[in-house]
Chain A
């Protein structure tokens, strides 16, 4: 089992719709959870992070964390063509020596 798993996609979303991305992790000791966006050929850029159970909203983005079920999700509201990118989930585990582990990413395509 991979430490951090994401559906590779592509996730095709009509413009203006909600894109829902999921990420599951294996280590119950995971403490901090990050979402990054990576455009093709570019470096990852931080969208948001979450560390408490529940929802956290930032503009059109909402991160949801459920530690009991070991998953974290990202919702993108009012999706725009510029949101077309690969979204990376990253998990920090203190017991693992702070090795921030990334999932393989979900490719999102927003169609006008």
Chain B
């Protein structure tokens, strides 16, 4: 069974540009989560999608947005990039919502560097 896949592995952008990160969940998983992990910091919750709908978002500005497609894959868009957006962006999927004891399975992440 294929795990969660993310692309690209690395992404280098300049300040002010837009970045698009992609995620394919484990087959059968309908929930997709996005987290940001800046260097030396913990995982910060960004967004949760389930059945194509945004269910919750973390304390991030509106320039962080995304969507979930009918095949449950997801896209994270970051507009007007700032230097502090440089981080590892992790996508995770789960069979159902995590509060139903459904664990998150993480992809290998996209390392975004903003110069």
Interface of A with B (CB < 8 Å)?
Answer: 31-32, 34, 42-46, 49, 51, 88, 90, 92-94, 96-105
Check B100 against A32 for contact (C-beta < 8 Å). Answer: yes
Interface hit among B11-19, B67-75, B76-84, B102-110: B102-110
Check B99 against A46 for contact (C-beta < 8 Å). Answer: no
Enumerate B13-63 residues with CB–CB distance to A below 8 Å: 33, 35, 41-43, 45, 48, 55-56, 58
In the complex, whether B112 has a CB less than 8 A from a CB of chain A is no
Check B104 against A98 for contact (C-beta < 8 Å). Answer: no
Interface of B with A (CB < 8 Å)?
Answer: 33, 35, 41-43, 45, 48, 55-56, 58, 90, 97-101, 103-109
Check B45 against A100 for contact (C-beta < 8 Å). Answer: yes
Complex Cα distance, B90 from A31, in Å, reads 23
What residue of chain A has the Cβ atom nearest to residue B90's Cβ? A43
What residue of chain A has the Cβ atom nearest to residue B109's Cβ? A43
What residue of chain A has the Cβ atom nearest to residue B106's Cβ? A43
Check A49 against B106 for contact (C-beta < 8 Å). Answer: no
Residues of A within 8 A of B43 (CB): 44, 88, 102
